[in-house]
Chains A and B, each alone.
Chain A
Amino acid sequence: DAGITQSPRHKVTETGTPVTLRCHQTENHRYMYWYRQDPGHGLRLIHYSYGVKDTDKGEVSDGYSVSRSKTEDFLLTLESATSSQTSVYFCAISDREQETQYFGPGTRLLVL
């Protein structure tokens, strides 16, 4: 299994509070991704990174920001959490040459 961890694994927060989710990898892969999974929507890309300090928006980026200051860490921040951001968040990594993405265990976020 790819060495990917996500923290926290579960979080309950209130509307309007900032939330940061962390993804940590030990594979030294260049590419990192944040997805959310919701019933009826499958997996949707929020943001991705193609190197340290290099990030780009995905399909559902509104309300989210990311940062990558080190190869191994990719942070997802909800600046002001809303109930619509209640979801399961997955981090993934990939090696460009392989193109297959490997996923972390997920973070379940509940915004009340």
Chain B
Amino acid sequence: DQQVKQNSPSLSVQEGRISILNCDYTNSMFDYFLWYKKYPAEGPTFLISISSIKDKNEDGRFTVFLNKSAKHLSLHIVPSQPGDSAVYFCAASERNSGYSTLTFGKGTMLLVSP
């Protein structure tokens, strides 16, 4: 049973527009959420995170929103650039579980066209 779901396998956006990537989770014990970006033939790189005590975290062009009641988070990229084309993974963890293991979604491939 998938605890972290990214229901859109792919997303296409034009350069300069907003990209919105979505993620849903089912485990109410998750209290820390992360987004990773992955280019082909490379390891995932950490992008941005958010704690469950917040509903928004911003870092430059990247903003993550958390809606705890809906068990939903989203990553906004504004403005989108061709270099943002990659696979984006949503991940979640239970900070109070004792060990910091992450549960990942299956990923969404973002294509930003010029």
Contact = CB atoms under 8 A, between A and B. Distances in A.
Contact of A42 (B34, B41, B49, B107): B107
Contacts of A103: 36, 43-45
A96 interface: yes
A36 B91 CA distance: 15
Interface stretch (B63-71, B78-86, B93-101): B93-101
B99 A48 contact: yes
Contacts of B102: 45, 101
Contact of A43 (B89, B93, B95): B89
Interface size class of A (residues with CB under 8 A): 20 to 34
B43 A106 contact: yes
Contact of A94 (B43, B100, B104, B105): B100
Contact of B46 (A33, A48, A102): A102
B106 interface: yes
Given A40-B106, A100-B49, A48 B44 contact: no
A31 interface: yes
A48 B43 contact: no
Nearest to A2: B46
A90 B43 contact: yes
